Every structure is written in C-alpha cells, then in structure tokens.
Amino acid sequence: MPNISKRTAQLPASPIRKLTPLAQAAEAAGKVIYHLNIGQPDIPTPRSFMDGVKTADITVLSYSPSRGMPATLNALHDYYAEHKIEVSTDEMCVTIGGSEAFTFAMKAATDPGDDILAPEPFYPNYRGYAYLTNIRINPITTYAEDGFHLPSLAVMEEKITPRTRAILFSNPGNPTGVVYTHDELERIAELAIKHDLFVISDEVYREFVYAGKAVSVFDFPELRDHAILVDSISKRISACGARIGVIASHNSAVMGAVNRMAQARLSPPTFGQLGLTAFLNDPHHHDAIATMIAKFHARRDTLYAALQTIPGIVCQQPAGAFYVIAKLPIDDCERFARFLLTDFDHHGETVMVAPGTGFYATPGKGKDEVRIAYVLEEEKLVRAVELLRAGIAAYQRTMAPSPA
C-alpha cells in the first residue's frame, strides 16, 4: 500500500476539534455539554445577509470572477474606508474564508524551507497551513502573566533566521484576546523594514475591541510594500459557514501572485458574496455589528468575573476578540479536557475547553492552559465556569497520590 505524504502525516490535529468524538459520545450518553472550545458565535446571522442570498435573481449558478464579484469588492472597499483603511478594489481578492487567505499569503511570501515568525500562543491553523506549505512557524513566546503582549524588539529579533520571510500575528488576538498597541506594532514594523520581511496581519476580529480601536497593519505607511492584510466575515457577521475571506496588499507583486493562485482555484463562493454585499449595502449594518460587539463585551465581563473564583487561575482580562487563555492548576491540559468529557459531570452537565498545547509551537508550552471562547449567553457562561471549577477539583483528586 502506498504511503501518504510526510506533510499530511505530520499535520497536527486541531486542538479545537480533535476531542469532538469524545463530546459526541458524552452527549449520546445523555450529558449536557457547555461548549467553550470553538469560536462559533451563537448570535443570529443578520437578516440582510440572509435576504441577499434568498432573494438573489440567479438562473445559472455560475463561477464568480476569481478575485470576487465587482459588487462585493466595491462593498468591501467602502467598508474598509469606514474604518480608515485605504485599499483599492484592485488591491483585494475575495477568498474561500480566511483560511484560503492565509495560505495565499504564506505561499506568496515564502518558498519551501522558509520560516515565519509568529507570537505564540497563536491560532493553531497557522501551523497547519505552514505544514501544507512546507514552511515552519518560528514562535515568539508570550506569557499569560504579561497579558500575552509582545516582548522587546531585541527578543523578537533574536528569533530571525536566514530563512525568515515574514511575521504573522492576529490583532485582536486569537486565542489570547490581546489587542496590540500602536507601539507594539511599531516594533513589528521596525523589524520588518530592517530585515525586509512581509507582515501578515490577521484582522478578523477588528471590531471586537472593548476599549479604543484596533490598529491595522495598513495604518503604517512605511509598511506599504511589506503589509499583507488577511480578513474574514465569519465572526463579525456571525456567518462562519459563508466561507468568505479577504486578502489585501498594496504590493502589486503580492497581489499578482494572489490573483494567479485565485485563478487556479477558480472562484470564491457566490452565495456568500451575495449575502455579504447585501449586508454591507444595508445602511443599518453598523448597528448590527455594534449590537453583537456589545453582547460580547458583556459576556467578556461576566466570564472574567466568574473565572476569578477559580483558585490558582492566572489570566488577565482580554481586551478583544472573544477568547481567553487561562492558566489553571492542572498538570496536563489535554488529559484534563478529556477528563471533563469522559469522567466528569455535575448533575449531568460538563464543559468542553480547548487544550492550550495546540496553540503553541514550542514543545511543552501551554500544558497548564486552556482556551475558552465566550460564545454562550451570560447565564450559561456562569454555569460553565461553575462546572470548570468543579471539574478542576475532581481532576486534582484523581491526580493526588494514593495514601500509603
């Protein structure tokens, strides 16, 4: 029997989804699970988006243009302009979700054997995309005690190798909830210019900032030829299944490469573009996003207050996105996450979290951490933390040495 490729054999499983079979078995056995493991908003997709799909006057569901429909690109141009981000329609490409935008960015910026710097913990699919592109994620470790903010310029510069081609980060951050300051991004800009690197900025959670606003990579004129912006509508419009993302750059060579890759994969989803165009052309679309952000702001506050009741927890209040990485009094986060699904319940209920190790590239990091997505209603978040606290106590009892 022929062997599969090494790059797919070594492809890491998603820490967010790998325990799903255990959750399904627990639910089949009658347990109620509070899912804090995945960033799937529970807020209804805006009606204007759904109407854009339902009322589309389509006789033949044909290919859309490889870069996206002109109406969608125009609507995106206006959206970015509202956020003071100057980018022309020629400098954008609609992608099949943010995932394709990341793979396009990595392939445009690197050759096989190159590496990309990324602050860890990071969105785990970065590493998956890197494996499939035959490049390496070179991690810059950040810490819960510092709120996962970036280290000094000198510390980051030490990580650069002769094969480093880019710096990749999310701002606001998944999985940490960190929001980088202008000064932090200036450090990245200085590093990129000094070493002639691309800067790949994941801005999927742009609106999810609970004080002030996020800084875009396009806010730095000196990065004009270095910056690659990656975006997605999944979170801000609660439309994860639409699979619509965006990649943008002022660098014409980058966009030329992106356009050729887009032609090779033919076209992005038509219905997702129709929904997005209708939503962005709705004069009330700002209100829909603002209402969603307000709900997540309240959830953030509720979750953080509840987490402080757990003895020994280390976490700072996240400033953005809808995640928190929490350091817990446990020895092995994956074993603990499995325990919650297979061996623990309280009155028939348990909680599902994402093990922290999967968000790191450095071996051994994150063993006592979990990622929590606050995508549930507030009363459910409070109950989920009660279960988490009880689960930690039960887990600690199982780990305690037996009496002699």
Per DSSP (E only), the strands in 2-42 are: 32-35
Q: CATH number of the domain that 366 lies in?
A: 3.90.1150.10
Residue 172, domain member (yes or no): yes
Residue 80, domain member (yes or no): yes
Based on the fold, state whether residues 210 and 332 are members of the same structural domain: no
Query: Minimum mean pLDDT among 5-14, 47-56, 68-77: which range?
Result: 5-14
In this prediction, residues 204-216 reach a mean pLDDT of 96
In this prediction, residues 308-330 reach a mean pLDDT of 97
In this prediction, residues 53-65 reach a mean pLDDT of 95
Number of domains the chain contains? 2
Q: What letter does residue 212 receive in the DSSP assignment?
A: S
Q: Do residues 221 and 207 make contact, with C-beta atoms less than 8 angstroms apart?
A: no
Whether residue 9 is predicted with pLDDT greater than 70 in this model: the reply is yes
In this prediction, residues 357-364 reach a mean pLDDT of 95
Rounded CA-CA distance 30/10 in Å is 35
Based on the fold, state whether residues 245 and 291 are members of the same structural domain: no
Query: Minimum mean pLDDT among 10-14, 143-147, 284-288, 393-397: which range?
Result: 10-14
Q: Do residues 356 and 366 make contact, with C-beta atoms less than 8 angstroms apart?
A: yes
The per-residue pLDDT for 402 is 56
The per-residue pLDDT for 16 is 74
Based on the fold, state whether residues 384 and 349 are members of the same structural domain: yes
Based on the fold, state whether residues 233 and 136 are members of the same structural domain: yes
Last residue of a domain, one of 281, 315, 344: 281
* pLDDT tens per residue, range 66-114: 999 999 999 999 999 999 999 999 999 999 999 999 999 999 999 999 9
The per-residue pLDDT for 184 is 97
pLDDT bucket at 13, cuts 50 / 70 / 90: confident
The pTM of the whole model exceeds 0.85: yes
Structure tokens at 225: 């030829």
Last residue of a domain, one of 281, 296, 319: 281
Based on the fold, state whether residues 307 and 321 are members of the same structural domain: yes
Based on the fold, state whether residues 210 and 178 are members of the same structural domain: yes
In this prediction, residues 177-196 reach a mean pLDDT of 98
Rounded CA-CA distance 276/43 in Å is 17
Residue 56, domain member (yes or no): no
Whether residue 338 is predicted with pLDDT greater than 70 in this model: the reply is yes
In this prediction, residues 293-313 reach a mean pLDDT of 97
Q: Do residues 374 and 381 make contact, with C-beta atoms less than 8 angstroms apart?
A: yes
Based on the fold, state whether residues 190 and 73 are members of the same structural domain: yes
Give the range of the structural domain holding residue 19, as residue numbers without chain letter: 6-44+287-397
Quote the mean pLDDT of the chain.
Answer: 96
Based on the fold, state whether residues 153 and 211 are members of the same structural domain: yes
